[in-house]
Amino acid sequence: MKTPIIIYWLRQDLRIADNQALHYAANNGTVLPVYIWDEVNSQEFTLGAASKVWLHYSLQNLNQNLENKLAIYTGNPLDILLELCTRYKITQVVWNRCYEPWQINRDKNIKHHLMTKNIQVTSFNASLLWEPWEIQKKDGSYYKVFTPFYRNGCLQATQPRQPLAVPREISYFQAENTLAVEDLSLLPTIDWYSKTLTDWQIGEQGAQQKLWWFVEKALYNYKEGRNLPAKRYTSLLAPHLHFGEISPNQIWYVVKQLPEEQNIDCFCSELGWREFSYSQIYFNSDLPWQNLQRKFDKFPWQHNQDKLRAWQRGMTGIPIVDAGMRELWQTGYMHNRVRMIVGSFLVKNLLIDWRYGAKWFWDCLFDADLANNSASWQWIAGCGADAAPYFRIFNPITQGEKFDPDGEYIRKYIPELRQLPTKYIFNPIDAPSAVLKNANIILGETYPMPIVDIKESRQQALDAFKAFSAE
């Protein structure tokens, strides 16, 4: 008897291990793996420039793992799926669920239309440890504070699903008239990305290597070391997770097999923060553009394009901020502690709307993730769920002194300050003229003067917060 062809529609699950939809399709028929570049539905949430580069190479890796059978298309997924089902007499489509609001709406619409054509649709969770609707309070409302969400919700819920192995046998169907990855034009015409990719191995194998490197070399000091940007104690798994080259379940169970201790608990709680972000965007579909705390709709943001541009270029005159922004531009990544520092500086010292920061990160980060990006920016701005209070303002100078005490991170990304003694590298304006001269630094020429006074801008932010809170 001829086995049925089952379309497996890939999205943010670009792997073959621990892949529920692929597993189901392989066990129940011949698999037609399909990827559709969808700019019809994504609109303003189309991937940023850095993420497109990552996707290009991730799809190439995936296609190799799928024995070069990946059918690639561009356009409206509903039209393409219907056309494939008609052409090849297919009656089953499977996918792993996506959780961004626009994706949920799109998928509901596609499922409805396919089912009216007597095409069976089966979906799975391959991206989260827990479904957002599974983690709710006893009264049926969703959690707005992380600690009870994680401790009382996640850790008291059913254990995350055990990872699946790669199916023993996969019979693939080769579709006709498909595109090559290159036809999607994901790479920019100007090659700014080759140097950026030198530290990354994109794809499923690279994700696994990164996980095991982290477990063997860095996890033992994660709780303390994760805040040191000059050292590598973080996993660097975020872009692999976003594109589904590795699942959170795979990470969770590798780590949970180790003897329980504080570094493991701390790392697992960071996976919990990812779940929390997805919970927030699931229950608040306008999270990417709307203040979760609506009182912030009246906040008197300033619209200073020159200061925004200085922040984007890493030319603020505040070394730890500039180092972070240059790391972002040069590597497609920024250390998490530094993300908090540069975010606080933008929204509280420059009084620039958090949405400008979110948009810049969306375009520049390899790991740009709508849930994480939106929730994190709202957190640092003080307007989100479980947000840092607006009056909690990072001092970027003391943050640099505390977390980059030798100035190693600053020197790496700001070469013009390399010769400056560590005592002055966090705030060069304090350096005597003779010290600056010996370091070949002319403030305002070789390195910018600070675009704001830290103390004065902090007070200005506090005054603005008090004024709008009193209304």
Residue pLDDT, tens place only, 412-443:
999 999 999 999 999 999 999 999 999 999 99
Residue 388 scores a pLDDT above 80: no
Phi-psi region of 125 (alpha: psi -120 to 50; beta: other; left: phi over 0): beta
Confidence of residue 471 (pLDDT cuts 50, 70, 90): low
User: In this predicted structure, which of 84-93, 270-279, 388-397, 413-422 has the lowest mean pLDDT?
Assistant: 388-397
Q: How far is CA 277 from the centre of its chain?
A: 11
Residue 5, beta-bridge partner list: 30
Residue type, 406: D
Q: Are strands 30-37 and 71-74 parallel, antiparallel or unpaired?
A: parallel
Among 28, 41, 304, 336, the active-site one is: 336
Among 301, 304, 395, 401, the active-site one is: 301
> Would you say residue 181 lies in a domain?
no
Average pLDDT over every residue of 148-177: 95
> At which of 68, 99, 126 does a domain end?
126
Structural domain span for residue 320:
294-469
Are 150 and 213 contained in the same domain? Answer: yes
Confidence of residue 133 (pLDDT cuts 50, 70, 90): very high
Are 104 and 157 contained in the same domain? Answer: no
Are 307 and 232 contained in the same domain? Answer: no
Are 118 and 152 contained in the same domain? Answer: no
Determine the Cα–Cα distance for residues 300 and 167; give it in Å rounded to an integer. 56
Residue 470 scores a pLDDT above 90: no
Among 152, 273, 401, 408, the active-site one is: 273
Residue 327 scores a pLDDT above 90: yes
Residue type, 404: D
Residue 467 scores a pLDDT above 90: no
Are 355 and 434 contained in the same domain? Answer: yes
| Full strand arrangement of the beta sheet holding 5-10 | 71-74, 30-37, 5-10, 92-96, 120-124
> At which of 255, 283, 311 does a domain end?
283
CATH number, position 230: 1.25.40.80
- For residue 394, give both structure tokens: 């990072």
Average pLDDT over every residue of 252-266: 93
> At which of 264, 283, 302 does a domain end?
283
- pLDDT value, residue 199: 87
- pLDDT value, residue 399: 98
CATH number, position 422: 1.10.579.10
Determine the Cα–Cα distance for residues 143 and 153; give it in Å rounded to an integer. 8
Are 121 and 133 contained in the same domain? Answer: no
Q: Percent of the chain scored above 70 by pLDDT?
A: 99
Q: Does the annotation mark 270 as catalytic?
A: yes
Among 131, 270, 401, 416, the active-site one is: 270
Are 87 and 144 contained in the same domain? Answer: no
Are 386 and 426 contained in the same domain? Answer: yes
Higher pLDDT, 1 or 53: 53
Determine the Cα–Cα distance for residues 400 and 417; give it in Å rounded to an integer. 14
Q: Percent of the chain scored above 90 by pLDDT?
A: 93
Average pLDDT over every residue of 384-411: 92
- pLDDT value, residue 260: 83
CATH number, position 115: 3.40.50.620
Q: Does the annotation mark 41 as catalytic?
A: no
Q: Does the annotation mark 336 as catalytic?
A: yes
> Would you state the torsion angle of the CA atoms of residues 127, 108, 25, 116, taken in this order, to the nearest 10 degrees?
170
Q: Does the annotation mark 273 as catalytic?
A: yes
pTM reported for the whole predicted model: 0.96
Q: Does the annotation mark 377 as catalytic?
A: yes
Tell me the angle at which helices 370-381 and 336-344 cross, rounded to the nearest 10 degrees.
Answer: 50
Residue pLDDT, tens place only, 204-254:
999 999 999 999 999 999 999 999 999 999 999 999 999 999 999 999 999
Are 260 and 149 contained in the same domain? Answer: yes
- pLDDT value, residue 468: 81
Closest by CA position to 320, among listed 221, 445, 455, 428: 428
Mean pLDDT of the chain: 96
* Residue 56 CB-density burial (10 A; 0-12 exposed, 13-18 middle, 19+ buried): middle
Burial code (b: 16+ CB inside 10 Å, e: under 16) for 382-393 equals bbbbbbbebeeb
Average pLDDT over every residue of 53-61: 98
Among 54, 354, 360, 379, the active-site one is: 354
**Overall number of domains in the chain:** 3
> Would you say residue 212 lies in a domain?
yes
Are 364 and 462 contained in the same domain? Answer: yes
- For residue 285, give both structure tokens: 């579909």
Q: Are strands 5-10 and 120-124 parallel, antiparallel or unpaired?
A: unpaired
> Would you say residue 136 lies in a domain?
yes
> Would you say residue 168 lies in a domain?
no
Confidence of residue 29 (pLDDT cuts 50, 70, 90): very high
> Would you say residue 170 lies in a domain?
no
Q: Could you tell me if 347 and 308 are in contact, meaning their C-beta atoms sit under 8 angstroms apart?
A: no
Residue pLDDT, tens place only, 274-320:
999 999 999 999 999 999 999 999 999 999 999 999 999 999 999 99
Are 271 and 326 contained in the same domain? Answer: no
Are 107 and 141 contained in the same domain? Answer: no
Average pLDDT over every residue of 311-338: 98
CA atoms within 13 A on the CB side of 147: 1
> Would you say residue 189 lies in a domain?
no
Among 54, 362, 377, 379, the active-site one is: 377
> Would you say residue 178 lies in a domain?
no
Q: Could you tell me if 287 and 280 are in contact, meaning their C-beta atoms sit under 8 angstroms apart?
A: yes
Determine the Cα–Cα distance for residues 7 and 109; give it in Å rounded to an integer. 17
Q: Are strands 71-74 and 92-96 parallel, antiparallel or unpaired?
A: unpaired
